[in-house]
Each structure stands twice: as structure tokens, then as C-alpha cells.
Amino acid sequence: MAPTQESTAGLIDLRSDTVTRPTAAMRRAMAEAEVGDDVFREDPTVRRLEEAAAARTGKEAALFVPTGTMGNQIAVNVWTRPGQEVILEERSHIFNYEMGTMAVFSGVLPRPLRGDDGVLSVESVRKAIRPPVYYLTQTGLIALENTHNMAGGTIFPVSGAETICALARAQRIPVHLDGARLFNAAVALRRDPAELARPFDSVMFCLSKGLGAPVGSLICGPAGFIDEALRVRKRMGGGMRQAGVLAAAGLVALEENVERLAEDHQNALRLAEGISGIRGLSIQSARVQTNIVVFEVVGDGITAKEVVGLWKEEGVLALAIDETQVRAVTHYDVDRAGVERALAILAKLMHRSAARPS
């Protein structure tokens, strides 16, 4: 039977790059995957994916996990002890969108700092690291995000990441990278993802976002960390059996879908440039570096939610992330013509709303 197209068919879906559907090559690879029981570590396709992920990030080992959230939370759990603090950015995914799991599962406290475009300064991290005084809460982990989702897909500069990691290492504090979109950063910078991952003790990246796989993320790091991560994954209920059917799609994602992320970045830039010319909306398009466009609704009497609602009526989906901000994410299921159509509709509806008597 032919795969069914979901109810979003025909819509321009800019809510997230997670909405990408597996390609024909992925579906074929999934059907043909050689599998085994991965809890016994007997799934050859999963092992192949883990080896490929370790190689691509330049780490000793890797572990396949069902979601980015689980990958991040496993890292938090392995690196910290209850009662410690995790330094992270105020708008980071680990802090805002993982439902306080670090507190629930690992008993640690977030120590959120405000970054510039999501990028933490070396100085702010240096100041936030607790001195080793026995009665003070201790810093157990630092977690950075690259690209930074809610700051608008911004790239964490390589030199800043290296300095923060060196500072942390000198005090024996591990640094984890939430690299859900690490490959977007690497493609945009034309750098090897391993180079971006190098200073970090552990890295999580997702296959299920712009890379287009239906499910899955990888955590990568030293062999000892991954051994422990394997136990924590099982404890979290993430021990999967014939997961090779999923890993097979992930292998195709890594082999075929990395370089094309550049197209998504060009489309995002086009979207941002178009938005910057629409009255009532505001964006610094020069800040759009990858596939995420966060723009501000500045027009009187209309909220981000209303803009998203009106856009939706005309077949374009996006997310209101607060009262004034809208997020639109480009990916391979939306081509340049789709971006142009989304822009034309947005311009029309903003024009209409400006003309509306208040």
C-alpha cells in the first residue's frame, strides 16, 4: 500500500523541521534493514549508525536514543549528581521544553543565564561557576545549544565554545552540547561537525529535524560516558528492540541529507528578507544564519497568535512562541515557491490587518 499523506498535505508547514517526512530512500532502507535486539546490543544497523555518528562528531562512541530530549536528559544524568546546578541559556531547550526533567530525573537545578542571540558570553559563564566552597551549591554541568532554537537558529561561535569548554575543563566541569541542529551549524559555517563538537565532553544531535529521519537522535562522547548512558537510557525506558528499522533511515539522513541543509538556510534567509519588508513585522534578517526565522509582530492591535491564526486560514502553518514572536522553520518539504507563497500571504494579511479599523 502506498504511504498515506497526512492531513497537512497541501499546507505550507513552517511549524518545525520536525514535520519532515521520510524520503523514498529512507523508506526503502527501513524496509530492507537488517535488525536484531538492540537491548542485547545485537542490532547491526543501530551499531552502524552509532559508529557513523561517533565518526561524524569525532567522539569515541555514540548511542542511539528515541528523542533529543532523552539524549539531553541522559547526558545531564550521567554528568551530574543530585543537588548540583546546570548552567545554561535562558531560552534553551533543556531549560524550557523538557518539562523540568533535569529536576525530576536527576535532581539538579538549572542556572539560566541570558545570552546574546542565545550565545552565552565567556564572562557570564565564568562568573556563574560556583567556587568550590563546601556549603555552596556546586556547578555540575554547563550545557550550550548550537544552533540555538528559540534565539532564531543562531550559531554558537567556535572560539567562544572553545574558551567556555577550556574554562570548564580547568575546573573539572563537563560541558554538554545540545546540538539538535549541529549539522545546520556545520553546513552554514562550512566546517566539519567534528570540529564544532571537539571541545565538548558530550554532544547530542537529532536525525529527526532538518535531516529528515522519522525518529531518533544520537548522544556522542567518550566510551565510559556512553557505557553509563546505556544504563540510563534503559532506566528511562528507552531500550529499544529491532530499532534498526529506524536507524536505517538515520543512516540515509547522514549520507544524503546533510549538504542540502544549505537550501533550507537560503530559503530561511529569503523568508526573513521578505518579512523585513512587511509593515507591522520586524526581523533583523542579517541575523538569520540557518533554517529558523523568529520574527516580531510590532503592529498595534495584533498579536503573534492572531498572525499565526490568519496565516493558517490561508494554508501556512507557523508557531507563536509568545505574545509577540512567531517562529517559522524551513525544511525540505517546503521549497522556494512555498516560501514565496507564504510571504505573499503574510504581506496580504498584514496589509489587511493594518487597514482594519481599531
Residues that bind ligand TLP (CB under 6 A): 16, 18, 67-69, 72, 93, 97, 145, 149, 178, 180, 206, 208, 217
| 8 A C-beta contact, residue 147 and residue 184 | yes
Q: Which is nearer to ligand TLP, 95 or 225 (CB)?
A: 95
Task: Find the radius of gyration of the CA atoms of the chain.
Answer: 21
Contact 307, 286 (CB under 8 A): no
How far is it, in rounded angstroms, from Cα 218 to Cα 50?
Answer: 7
The least CB distance from residue 320 to ligand TLP, in Å, is: 13
Cis peptide upstream of residue 303 (ω within 30 degrees of 0): no
The least distance separating ligand TLP from the CB of residue 135, rounded to whole angstroms, comes to 34
In the bound state, the residue with its beta carbon closest to ligand TLP is 68
Identity of the residue, 294 or 349, whose beta carbon is nearer to ligand TLP in the bound complex: 294
User: Which of 84/208 has CB closer to ligand TLP?
Assistant: 208
Q: Which is nearer to ligand TLP, 67 or 121 (CB)?
A: 67
**Cβ atoms of 151 and 117 closer than 8 Å:** yes
Question: What are the Cα distances from residue 207, in Å, to 14, 65, 332?
Answer: 18, 10, 14
Least distance between ligand TLP and beta carbon 178 (Å)? 5
* Shortest Cβ 343–ligand TLP spacing (Å): 21
> Shortest approach of ligand TLP to residue 65 CB, angstroms?
9
Closest CA to 156 of 182, 136, 192, 129: 182
Decide whether 203 or 310 has the Cβ nearer to ligand TLP.
203
Nearest CA to 343 out of 262, 277, 289, 282 is that of: 277
